[in-house]
Structure 1
Amino acid sequence: MEAVLAITIGIVFGSGIWLILRPRSFQVLIGLMLMSYAVNLFIFAMGRLSVDRPPLTPAGTPPDPALLADPVPQALVLTAIVIGFATTALYLVVMIGARGLTGTDHVDGEEPEE
C-alpha cells in the first residue's frame, strides 16, 4: 500500500512540475494545483495509513495510540486545502486580468514567433 501511494505521489508531483514548465498560464495553474495535491497526499500519509481501525477510542477502553490515526496531519492537510483553494482563485483572477491586458495567456506575455 505504501509503495503504491509513494509512486502515485511521485507521478502527480512530476506531472505538476512538467505542467509548470509549459508556456501557458492555465497549464502553470494546473501544475501548481497538482503539486499541492501531491504534497497534501504526502503529509496525509505521514499520519500513518490504517485500514479497518477506529478513528476514535471506544467508550470504556483505555486509549492505545497505535490504534488511532494522528489528527495533526489531517488538520494540516485541511488547512492546506483551504489555502490552496484561495491561492488558486487569486491566481485565476490575476491570470484573467493579464489575459485582458496583454491579449495572450503566455507566461511571458508574448506569443511565440513562427
Structure 2
Amino acid sequence: MSTRHASFAAFYPYYLTQHANMLCRRAHFFGSTSALAALAQSVVSMNAWWIVAALVSGYGGAWVGHFFYEKNRPASFAQPLYSFMGDWVMYWQMLTGKLSW
C-alpha cells in the first residue's frame, strides 16, 4: 500500500479489496471470534494470559488469511488503527450478512 488514507471512510473500501478472498475473510472471522472468546475468558478467570491468547488468535487468523489465501501483506503493517477498525467493521458485516464470507 503506497497511499495513506486520510480517513477511515476512504480506507475501508481499500481494506475490503485486500480481503477479496473468501477464505481470507473466514480466517479473519474465526480469528476475531476466538480473540473475543479469549478476552471473555480473561475477564471470567481474572487471568491476563488470556489477553495474550486473544492477540495471538486474532492476529494469527488474519495473518493466515493474508499469507496463505489472499497472498498479500496485511493492511495493519501500513495503517494499524484503520486496519483494526476495518477488521471489526468487516466482522460485524459478515456476522449480520451484509458481507459474504
TM-score between the two structures when normalised by the length of structure 1: 0.34
Q: Which structure has the bigger radius of gyration? A: 1
TM-score between the two structures when normalised by the length of structure 2: 0.37
Q: Taking CA–CA contacts closer than 8 Å with sequence separation of 6 or more, which of the two structures ends up with the larger relative contact order?
A: 2
